[in-house]
Structure 1
Amino acid sequence: MIICYTDGSALNPHGPIGWAWHDEDGNEKSGGSKSGTNNIGELTAIESAIESHPGDEPLTIFSDSEYSVNAIKKAPQWRADRWTKPKSRGTGRDEVKNPALLDAILDAIERRHGSVCVKWTESHVGTEGNERCDTLAKSYAFDVRRNAKPHCMTPAGDKAIAESTALKS
């Protein structure tokens, strides 16, 4: 079984952001953008972790983002409902946030031969993999802010940023 940790970080509500994954073999990857939300960073890290671990061996991903873990569990139904969900109050439907990333994660899970399980882990309690990802994601966000590292997102992450930016305008 492959164990992988992921994290996203936003220095401000709309960026800059960083994301990272780290596995128990010491492999890791990080990236970021000058704009975006923490949730976009969290989901991008999960997408990248799945894409970076192809094969038959089961993959367990630990994320400290309850939003991400819950959204991935609900994503198959939301996809079937054309990326809408019941309104939290009243009747009708709301659009799901970050559908491009959730769609990319579902596609990556479907392409992978081995199983994928995404689980929640508590943050900032000394779990080595989680702490490493936190450090990598924050560091990348700070480096992007000072132009020391380039923009590095998955195509779905870029699309999620564009969609979230369009919602603000």
Structure 2
Amino acid sequence: MTIIAAADGSALGNPGPAGWAWYVDENTWAAGGWKHGTNNIGELTAVLELFTATAHVDDDLLVLCDSQYVINSVTKWMPGWKRKGWRKGDGKPVLNLELMKELDAAIAGRRYRFEWIKGHAGHPLNEAADERARGAAEAYQRGTAVPSGPGYPGAASADPAKAAPAARAEPAATPVRPSAQPTLFEDAAPAAESVDVTVRLTADEHARIERRARAQGLSVEEALRGLI
């Protein structure tokens, strides 16, 4: 069986409020974004999130993408970049390096194919992904809730760190005690007793949290705090 999905990004002003989205059908799609980003970051993140969301299924994946930059990065340039220590032919570092490394890890062992689709040309899946990516960017521009979508069936995506920041109440400001810095999970209520907590994560776990945090415009600490 082959999953057919479109992935797209959007940036208002490029850079500016930005969004990403992937789309299979009305019941299977996801979107997110940032207060400030570029179109290329949105395009790369859309593909990365699609691979991540479908990592638990053993199906082929056909990615419809209107970005030659993304397609060439994954299918042509990445092997050479890796051989050169993630540097381009001119010796300069690869742009969007962390995203490229995450994509490289996400596609490992997967059966996939990219197909270039001309943007804004009426392709139904591409138009649906573009609409949702732009909708996420516009939501960040307005400061409103970001429609994040239902995700992929069976994917581990129903956690607070995936929720759009605007959809959650802003946490109260945490007072800084003169005797110590606030801890990672410090309760914002002035009367609550503070507890120091140490969390050990594997490199893969940290990368997933970092990616989810970046996709929603949060710090890693804010994303972890949202999990409790």
Q: Is 1:80 matched with 2:88?
A: no
| Distance in 2, Cα, partners of 1:45 & 1:66 | 14
Aligned pair partner of 1:104 in 97, 102, 114 = 102
Unaligned runs of 5+ in 1: 88-92, 162-169
Any idea what the Cα deviations from partners look like across 1:33-63, whole Å, max 9, x if unmatched?
0111100000000000011112221001111
Note the C-alpha offset of 1:117: 1.5
2:14 paired residue number = 13
Structure of larger gyration radius: 2
Superposition pairs of residues 90-169 of structure 1, within 5 angstroms: 93-110=91-108, 112=109, 114-149=110-145, 150=164, 155-156=210-211, 158=214
Which segment drifts farther, 63-72 or 16-25? 16-25
Checking the alignment, whether the CA contact within 8 Å between 1:33 and 1:151 is kept in structure 2 is: no
Is contact 1:2–1:24 with CA below 8 Å preserved after alignment?
no
Tell me the amino acid that sits aligned with residue 5 of structure 2: C
Give the counterpart letter for 1:60 in structure 2.
L
Letter of the 2:6 partner, please give it.
Answer: Y
User: Higher helix share goes to which structure?
Assistant: 1
Deviation at 1:104, TM superposition (A): 0.7
Q: Quick one: structure 1 residues 28 and 154, their matched pair in 2 at CA, closer, same or farther if it must change by over 3 Å?
A: farther
1:151–1:14 distance in 2 versus 1, CA, 3 Å: farther
- Answer whether contact 1:7 1:137 (CA < 8 A) is retained: yes
Structure 2 CA distance for aligned equivalents of residues 70 and 26 of structure 1: 30
- In the other structure, the counterpart of 2:39 is 38
Other-structure match for 1:61: 63
Q: What is the CA deviation profile of residues 77-108 of structure 1, one whole-angstrom value per residue up to 9, with x for unaligned ones? A: 21221111112xxxxx1211011111111111
Provide TM-score, normalisation by structure 2: 0.62
SS in 2 for 1:62: strand
Higher strand share: 1
After TM superposition, the structure 1 stretch with the greater mean CA deviation from structure 2, 3-12 or 48-57, is 48-57
Higher alpha-carbon deviation: 21-30 or 63-72: 21-30
Structure 1 residue 25, shift from structure 2 partner: 7.2
| Structure with more relative contact order (C-alpha pairs < 8 Å, separation 6 or more) | 1
Instruction: Identify if the C-alpha distance between structure 1 residues 64 and 11 changes in structure 2 by more than 3 Å, giving closer, same or farther.
Output: same
- Alpha-carbon distance between aligned partners in 1 of 2:26 and 2:34, rounded to the nearest angstrom: 27
Give the share of equivalent positions with the same residue, in percent.
Answer: 33
